[in-house]
Every structure is written in C-alpha cells, then in structure tokens.
Structure 1
Amino acid sequence: MKQSFGTTFSFFTDSWAELKKVKWPGRKELTSYTLVVICTVVFVTIYFAILDVIISELVRLVTE
C-alpha cells in the first residue's frame, strides 16, 4: 500500500512538472482558436441539418 501511494505521488509530481513545460496560448491566440472552433461547429451543424432535410425528403418520397 505504501508503494502505491508513492507511485501516485510521483505521478502527480511528474504531471505538474510536465504542465510547467507547456507553452500556453496568449489571449489573442486563444480568441482566434475559439473563433475557429465556433465557426467549425456552426458549419458542421448547418451541413448536417441540410443533409437531414434532404434525406428526410427522399425517404418521404420513397415511402409515399
């Protein structure tokens, strides 16, 4: 049990050391990345909504 506690502590210590090495984005970069993600989500949502309407209409035409 004692060794597992030491291993767990070592894991968190090593993780913290790795996080200190990360180059975090600045405010301008973060804003840019956020805008890209939002635009991508909106585009994909519109794409699938249009695709859903088209497939729904095709199914409706076939089943009537």
Structure 2
Amino acid sequence: MAAKDSVKKAEDKKSISKYFRGVKSEFKKVVWPTKKQVLNYTLIVIVACILFALLLAVFDKIVMFALKLIYG
C-alpha cells in the first residue's frame, strides 16, 4: 500500500514539473507588444471609455427630460 502511495507522489511531481515546462515553452512563443503599442492601446481604451460615458450621460439626460415631460 505504501509503495503505491510513493509511486503516485512521484508521478504527481513529474506531471507538475512537466506542466511548468510546458508553460515555460509556451511563454517563449508569446509575441509581447512594444512599449509604444501598449501606450497606444491604453489611450484608445481610455478615449473609448470617456466617449461611452459621455454617450451614456447624454442618453440619460434625454430620458430624464422625456420622463419630466410625461409625468410633469
């Protein structure tokens, strides 16, 4: 019984190390963006968020105006 447990632990250690070796090899394949690309993408996201917030605020004002007309 103890022999089976030790074999299983050894297999677990091998599978864990195999997993991390696979992760390491996959990270080597990743093409990381340049600093300029990260800056550009960040600015695009910030501008898009601001525009969406403004659009939502305008829509909210229109709905509130319509509701005031309807309900007084």
Q: State the structure with more CA Rg.
A: 2
Q: Pick the aligned partner of 1:46 from 48, 51, 54.
A: 54
Summarize the Cα distance change of 1:28–1:61 in structure 2 as closer, same or farther, 3 Å threshold: same
Aligned residues: 64
Question: What residue ranges of structure 2 are gaps of 5+ in the alignment?
Answer: 1-7
Q: Distance in 1 between matches of 2:71 and 2:25?
A: 62
- Displacement, 1:20? 2.1
Summarize the Cα distance change of 1:54–1:18 in structure 2 as closer, same or farther, 3 Å threshold: same
- Displacement, 1:26? 0.7
Normalised by the size of structure 2, how large is the TM-score? 0.68
Q: Pick the aligned partner of 2:65 from 40, 46, 57.
A: 57
- Aligned alpha-carbon RMSD (Å): 2.1
Q: Pick the aligned partner of 1:36 from 23, 44, 65.
A: 44
Q: Percentage identity across aligned positions?
A: 28
Normalised by the size of structure 1, how large is the TM-score? 0.75
Summarize the Cα distance change of 1:43–1:8 in structure 2 as closer, same or farther, 3 Å threshold: farther
Question: What residue ranges of structure 1 are gaps of 5+ in the alignment?
Answer: none
